[in-house]
Amino acid sequence: MDCNVVQCSLLETAHALVSSKTLPGDAAVDATVGNGHDTLFLAQCVGLKGEVIGFDVQQQALDNAKHRPISLDEPSANKTSINSLLLS
């Protein structure tokens, strides 16, 4: 995605920056898991061979994220859950 401040939202700009700096197999940290939206985005960036470590001060947020179904857009990927990618 080619974003600049005028054309893209802050979220789109952040996603473009992060996705340009992460590769499959990388490790990423989500310091505020919340509902897991950004955790899912990071998991898609690093792929099945990567690792996402998520933190949140609210246990309920971690529990909700762990049960969020995801599909990593890779040919060999099966649907999994953030539980396999998230450490509390």
Over residues 28-85, the pLDDT tens digits come to 999 998 888 898 899 889 988 888 888 888 888 888 877 776 655 544 443 444 544 4
Higher pLDDT, 69 or 10: 10
Question: Residues near 29 by Cβ (< 8 Å), separated by ≥ 6?
Answer: 52, 53, 54, 55
pLDDT of residue 21: 96
pLDDT of residue 25: 92
Cα-flanking dihedrals φ and ψ of residue 30, to 5°? -110, 105
Higher pLDDT, 42 or 1: 42
> What value does the mean pLDDT take over residues 12-21?
94
